[in-house]
């Protein structure tokens, strides 16, 4: 197992019960990186983060320092928006950071705002995360009172106001343009790109940088310790450490900070210091490697490192850092339905293929589970999925503005491709199903549609 002794960059204070307070934060080196950054030219701070090769931790994995340089020169005001609307099933790493170490986020916001040239930043936190909101609000009050936020911060010419905004619990605002719509008081729906790339036309149509909570939590450490120390950790294309939230059928679910690109899925799922293996000593059936929208992985993928490029090439993604483990007792059809039902409920309704398609996928899967499945249902599922994400490929194509629609296709394609026999067994429970499916494997005729290959990426199958 590749379990390293890499330093904890963003969870180093989790061992303290009062990690959320200013007193603890200052006692453990907090806000020293801000002092250092304010003594540097803003462009030098940007270059430091670029040199660290800090990839965004929200899902897309875009280099943060490069993103900071996207704002058009000479256009003011410009804003920093912090995406704390984490809500994909099984994803809860950012919530831990907001609840346990809010001053680390605030310091990251301050340094990023100084580097980009913002005088106002917005912290958008998911509506259901009451404790996170309370902890951040209390930390902001402490930071304002101590002179870390507000006018002429630490005696410098840099001033920043931070607005804490609570969401209303819509998954779609995790998408950056939908979040901006919500901040402007509109219904959370994604904008078309182009022309609405946030760096050019973001909040109030001004240049806007949108960063994730974990991304900004790394920034104080990078500034304090230097880009070289950060980039010395991790793999060639995935530097530093990264948080992963492991849930499902494991002995010890939780959030773990591991060296990026070095630790493997097997390490994270089976090592006693992490998730501790499958509960009840059962066998692994499948796991979702990067949030509910990612294609499923299986036993043969366990030894892949947690590295963005490697996982992308294997046909899935690390995405939101949520790993959901399913043991051998899992009903693949029911698991697929649970995920699709989430996306159908969270579709904002703007794009017809997503609004109608995800709902139909959910209805067909429910019909199969209820013993009312039809022999043509697998072909129908794939046809609907193809209308949302043409070709059902990875990376996905889409007929929608944002990736929510294709997200519902991933579990359908993964489950049908690997566990087709389980779908057939459910359908065979319906005595009225036309062209009855032989779930016993006795060689009886089965519909040609069930033989339709699923052109989905990955090493398996």
Is the alpha carbon torsion for 256, 260, 264, 267 positive or negative? negative
At 326-372, the pLDDT tens digits run: 999 999 999 999 999 999 999 999 999 999 999 999 999 999 999 99
Is the alpha carbon torsion for 217, 401, 383, 459 positive or negative? negative
For position 1, what pLDDT does the model report? 60
Contact 295, 394 (CB under 8 A): yes
**Among the listed ranges 42-56, 121-135, 278-292, 439-453, which one has the minimum average pLDDT value?**
439-453
Can you tell me the distance from the alpha carbon of 461 to that of 455, in angstroms, rounded to the nearest whole number? 10
Does pLDDT of 5 surpass 60? yes
> pTM above the 0.85 mark?
yes
Question: Could you tell me the pLDDT band of residue 433, with boundaries at 50, 70 and 90?
Answer: confident
For position 435, what pLDDT does the model report? 59
At 196-245, the pLDDT tens digits run: 999 999 999 999 999 999 999 999 999 999 999 999 999 999 999 999 99
For position 445, what pLDDT does the model report? 38
For position 453, what pLDDT does the model report? 40
Q: Is 150 helix (H, G, I), strand (E, B) or coil?
A: strand
For position 456, what pLDDT does the model report? 44
Does pLDDT of 416 surpass 60? yes
Question: Could you tell me the pLDDT band of residue 174, with boundaries at 50, 70 and 90?
Answer: very high
Does pLDDT of 82 surpass 70? yes
DSSP per residue, 1-62: --------SSSTTTTSTTTTSHHHHHHTTTTHHHHHHHTS-HHHHHHHHHHHT-B-SSSS--
Can you tell me the distance from the alpha carbon of 228 to that of 226, in angstroms, rounded to the nearest whole number? 5
Instruction: Please measure the distance between the N-terminal and C-terminal CA atoms of the chain and give it in whole angstroms.
Output: 26
Nearest CA-CA partner of 189 in 384, 83, 346, 395: 346
For position 399, what pLDDT does the model report? 97
Q: Which helix (H) or strand (E) holds 258?
A: strand 254-259
- Rounded mean pLDDT of 101-130? 97
Does pLDDT of 438 surpass 50? no
For the chain, give the mean pLDDT. 93
At 448-459, the pLDDT tens digits run: 333 444 444 333
For position 455, what pLDDT does the model report? 41
Percent of the chain exceeding pLDDT 90 equals 91
Q: How many H-runs (helices) and E-runs (strands) does the chain carry?
A: 16, 8
- Rounded mean pLDDT of 13-37? 98
């Amino acid at each position: 197992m590749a379990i390293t002794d890499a330093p904890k960059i963003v969870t180093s204070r989790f061992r303290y019960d009062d990690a959320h307070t200013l007193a603890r934060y200052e006692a453990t080196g907090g806000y020293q990186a801000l002092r250092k950054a304010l003594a540097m030219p803003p462009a030098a701070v940007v270059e430091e983060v670029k040199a660290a090769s800090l990839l965004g931790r929200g899902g897309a994995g875009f280099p943060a320092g490069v993103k900071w340089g996207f704002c058009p020169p000479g256009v003011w005001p410009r804003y920093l928006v912090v995406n704390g609307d984490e809500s994909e099933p099984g994803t809860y790493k950012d919530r831990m950071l907001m609840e346990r170490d809010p001053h680390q986020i605030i310091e990251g916001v301050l340094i990023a705002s100084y580097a980009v040239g913002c005088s106002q930043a917005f912290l958008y936190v998911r509506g259901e995360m009451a404790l996170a909101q309370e902890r951040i609000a209390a930390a902001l009050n402490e930071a304002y009172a101590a002179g870390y936020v507000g006018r002429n911060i630490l005696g410098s010419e840099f001033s920043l106001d931070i607005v804490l905004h609570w969401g209303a619990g819509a998954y779609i605002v995790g998408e950056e343009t939908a979040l901006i719509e919500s901040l402007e008081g509109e219904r959370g729906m994604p904008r078309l790109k182009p022309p609405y790339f946030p760096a050019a036309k973001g909040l109030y149509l001004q240049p806007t940088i949108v960063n994730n909570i974990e991304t900004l939590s790394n920034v104080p450490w990078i500034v304090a310790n230097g880009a070289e120390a950060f980039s010395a950790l991790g793999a060639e294309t995935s530097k530093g450490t990264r948080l992963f939230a492991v849930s499902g059928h494991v002995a010890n679910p939780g959030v773990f900070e591991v060296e990026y690109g070095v630790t493997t899925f097997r390490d994270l799922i089976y090592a006693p210091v992490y998730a501790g293996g499958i509960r009840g000593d059962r066998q692994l059936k499948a796991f979702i490697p990067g949030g509910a929208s990612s294609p499923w992985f299986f036993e043969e993928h366990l030894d892949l490192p947690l590295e963005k490029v490697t996982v992308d090439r294997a046909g899935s993604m690390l995405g939101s850092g949520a790993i959901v483990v399913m043991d051998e007792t899992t009903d693949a059809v029911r698991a697929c339905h649970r995920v699709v039902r989430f996306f159908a409920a969270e579709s904002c309704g703007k794009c017809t293929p997503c609004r109608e398609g995800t709902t139909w996928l959910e209805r067909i899967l429910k019909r199969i589970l209820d013993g009312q499945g039809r022999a043509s249902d697998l072909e129908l599922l794939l046809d609907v999925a193809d209308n949302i994400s043409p070709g059902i490929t990875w990376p996905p194509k889409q007929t929608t503005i944002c990736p929510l629609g294709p997200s519902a296709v991933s579990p359908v394609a993964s489950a049908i491709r690997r566990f087709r026999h389980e779908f057939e067994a459910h359908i065979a429970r319906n005595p009225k199903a036309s062209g009855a499916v032989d779930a016993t494997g006795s060689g009886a005729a089965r519909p040609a549609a069930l033989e339709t290959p699923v052109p989905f990426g990955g090493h398996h199958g």
